[in-house]
Amino acid sequence: MGPGPSDVSPRVLGALSRPTIGHLDPLFVELMDEIKALLQFAFKTGNALTLPVSAPGSAGMEACFVNLVSPGDKVIVCQNGVFGGRMQENVERCGGVAVMVEDEWGQPVSVDKAAAAFDQHPDAAILAFVHAETSTGVRSDAAALCSLARERGALSIVDTVTSLGGIDVDVDGWGADAVYSGTQKCLSCVPGIAPVTFSAKAVERIQKRTHKVQSWFLDMQLVMGYWGGSSKRAYHHTAPVNALYALHEALVILQEEGLEASFRRHRRNHEALVAGLEAMGLAMAVAPECRLPQLNSVLIPAGVDDAAVRGALLHDFNLEIGAGLGALGGKTWRIGLMGHSSNEQNVVACLNALEAVLGREGADIAPGLALPAAKAVYAD
């Protein structure tokens, strides 16, 4: 129940063990087309350039930046946690200029601050932000930020690593231009694959580049030859065949459940967990209107040893929760309810284990109230 990777469904593990076939085998090419269609479903997009990058979510991030940012380009980067900082690194490594818009960790990205940055830098070509900040448990307003980018004649790059499958990711509805995610969060697939999607405007920008993309492996003009959907596929790299079997199965599971049903499940389990934590006497670190249901950030009670509690949960209850990162290190715990892990059984187990460990630590909590509070949410 940490911030990822989430538990993997037995169906996905079963798919992973299927016999490996060639990455240009006609049967595998059919599977590639199905994966592309399923990713379009999950992203809510008709973008032709939608595919899984054969590497972790960080490579999905890099794929967006190396293809869209050329030397000298000015990029407005919104940072309200760890992963906005990684966006800055990508811009600078591409030779671009990162204009930073900083918000307090635990707060959503300020649309007004981003607009002010465009006022000061009207030549900015791209706006980049994190939709669901894994380090803090905060959701930012992707629709408003993408709309701002369009109004200012800029493209948008959006990190949806933690949001895809858990909360609404509406690529076409937002008008987002380059969006990346990961398989190990709410999709509950094995780590190592990065779904990405590029709008027609983003593809046009890529095709008009005057500088080579600095990464051969992540150059979308080359990758399109393999994933482009034509009858003849151009060899680019040996795809991770078995990992893509697993991704296909994970996406089929999401399609069977339905996006809205998945969002409701994540929301309901989140509400039950929060009710239990608050009844126990703990406080959430993020305001209700911008909390992530799949990543719950909890303030550590005064006088409680962060590492000791997490160690006891893991050793005594086989339960992992995440530590705070960056500015929130030692101040918060991050409890994941992602994908296959988002269920009532895990909520109950977490509340029981946390109450037992905090009681042993002498924390000022109210014993015996957490579980009834959570059960009341499920009964409603």
Q: Are residues 239 and 124 in the same domain?
A: yes
Alpha helices in the chain (DSSP H): 10-16, 26-43, 57-68, 82-93, 111-120, 142-151, 171-174, 200-207, 220-227, 241-257, 259-280, 306-317, 344-360, 370-379
In angstroms, rounded to a whole number, what is the distance separating the alpha carbons of residues 133 and 290? 11
Question: 230, 256, 282 — which closes off a domain?
Answer: 256
The domain boundary, picked from 240, 256, 272, lies at 256
3, part of any domain: no
Nearest 5°: phi and psi at 44? 55, 60
What the block records as the tokens of 19 is: 């016999």
CA–CA dist 260, 379 (Å, integer): 20
**Domain contains 265:** yes
Of 94, 92, 38, give the one whose Cα is nearest residue 66: 94
Final residue of a structural domain among 256, 284, 305: 256
The burial of 7, by beta-carbon neighbours within 10 Å (0-12 exposed, 13-18 middle, 19 or more buried), is given as: middle
Q: State whether 267 and 321 are in the same domain.
A: yes
Q: What tokens does 79 get?
A: 């940072």
Residue 106 lies in a domain: yes
Q: Angle CA(311)–CA(329)–CA(305) in degrees, nearest 5? A: 40
> Do 304 and 358 have their domain in common?
yes
Residue 150 lies in a domain: yes
Same domain, 212 and 275: no
Instruction: Indicate whether 247 and 266 sit together in one domain.
Output: no
Q: What angle do CA 262, 159, 235 make, to 5 degrees?
A: 95
Do the domain assignments include residue 121? yes
If asked whether residues 40 and 156 sit together in one domain, one would say yes
Query: 351 and 243 share a domain?
Result: no
Looking up tokens 């990346």 gives 180
Indicate whether 5 belongs to any domain: no
Residue 283 is assigned to a structural domain of this protein: yes
pLDDT value of residue 81: 96
Q: Are residues 264 and 225 in the same domain?
A: no
Residues contacting residue 78 through CB under 8 Å, at least 6 positions apart: 84, 101, 103, 109, 113, 114, 127, 128, 129, 130, 140, 145
Count of Cβ atoms closer than 10 Å to residue 315 Cβ: 10
**One domain for residues 282 and 206:** no
| Residue 231 and residue 85 in one domain | yes
Domain that holds residue 131: 10-256
Residues 233, 365, single domain; the answer is no
Pick the closest to residue 71 from 101, 94, 53, 102 (CA basis): 94
DSSP 290: G
Contact 61, 93 (CB under 8 A): no
For residue 143, which of 133, 124, 129 has the smallest C-alpha distance?
129
Q: Is the bond into 122 cis (omega within 30 degrees of 0)?
A: no
Residue 138 belongs to domain with CATH number: 3.40.640.10
- What is the CATH classification number for the domain harbouring 304? 3.90.1150.10
pLDDT of residue 230: 59
Task: Flag whether 56 is in a domain.
Answer: yes
Q: Assign 255 to helix, strand or coil.
A: helix
Per the structure block, which two tokens stand in for 184?
A: 């190990």
Query: What pLDDT score was predicted for residue 229?
Result: 61
Longest dimension (CA), the chain: 66
Q: What is the pLDDT of residue 24?
A: 84
The list of the chain residues with pLDDT below 70 reads 229-231
Q: How many domains is the chain partitioned into structurally?
A: 2
Shared-domain flag, residues 97 and 212: yes
